[in-house]
Structure 1
Amino acid sequence: MNNLMIETSGRKSIAQRLLETMASMNRVSVTILRCGLVLVLVWIGGLKFAKYEAESIVPLVANSPAMNFLYQDRAPAYRQYMNKEGEVVPSHQEWHEGNRTYPVSQALGLAIVVLGFMIALHKPLPQVAAFGSALLIGMSCVTLSFLVTTPEAWVHFMGDGAQGFPFLSGVGRLILKDSIMFGAAFVTMADSARMYLGRRNVNAL
Structure 2
Amino acid sequence: MKNISRLTQNVGIEISRYGLVLILLWYGIFKFTNAEAQAILDLIENSPLFSWMLSFMTIQQVSNMIGTVEIITAIAIAARPFSPWASVVGSFVGIVTFVATLSFLATTPGMFKLVDGMYVPNGFILKDLLLLGFSVWSFGESYAALEQKQSKVVDTKYQFS
In the superposition, the TM-score normalised over structure 1's length comes to 0.70
- Please state if 1:26 is matched with 2:9: yes
- Equivalent residue number for residue 43 of structure 1: 26
Q: Deviations over 1:7-39 (max 9, x none)?
A: xxxxxxxxxx4x862344323321221110111
Q: Distance in 2 between matches of 1:136 and 1:178?
A: 10
Q: Residues 1-205 of structure 1: matches in 2 within 5 Å?
A: 17=1, 21-72=4-55, 100-155=58-113, 162=117, 166-168=119-121, 172-205=122-155
SS of residue matched to 2:113 = coil
Q: Distance in 2 between matches of 1:37 and 1:99?
A: 28
Contact 1:30 1:187 in 2 (8 A): no
Q: Deviations over 1:125-184 (max 9, x none)?
A: 10110121011111111111100111131227xxx765xx7233xxx1110110000111
Q: CA deviation at 1:99?
A: 6.9
Q: Distance in 2 between matches of 1:145 and 1:68?
A: 13
55-64 or 147-156, which deviates more: 147-156
Q: Distance in 2 between matches of 1:115 and 1:103?
A: 18
Q: CA deviation at 1:70?
A: 1.2
Identity of matched residues, %? 27
The number of residues matched between the two structures is: 155
Structure 1 portions without partners, runs of 5+: 1-16, 73-97
Q: Distance in 2 between matches of 1:130 and 1:54?
A: 28
Q: CA deviation at 1:50?
A: 0.5
What amino acid sits opposite 1:102 in the alignment? Q
Moved beyond 3 Å, runs of 4+: none
Q: Deviations over 1:83-121 (max 9, x none)?
A: xxxxxxxxxxxxxxx971111111110011010011011
In the superposition, the TM-score normalised over structure 2's length comes to 0.87
Structure with the higher fraction of residues in helix conformation: 2
Q: CA deviation at 1:201?
A: 1.1
Q: Distance in 1 between matches of 2:149 and 2:6?
A: 24
Contact 1:49 1:109 in 2 (8 A): yes
Q: Distance in 1 between matches of 2:57 and 2:149?
A: 48
What amino acid sits opposite 2:64 in the alignment? Q
Kindly indicate whether structure 1 or structure 2 has the higher relative contact order, using CA contacts under 8 Å at least 6 residues apart.
2
111-120 or 99-108, which deviates more: 99-108
Structure 2 portions without partners, runs of 5+: 156-161
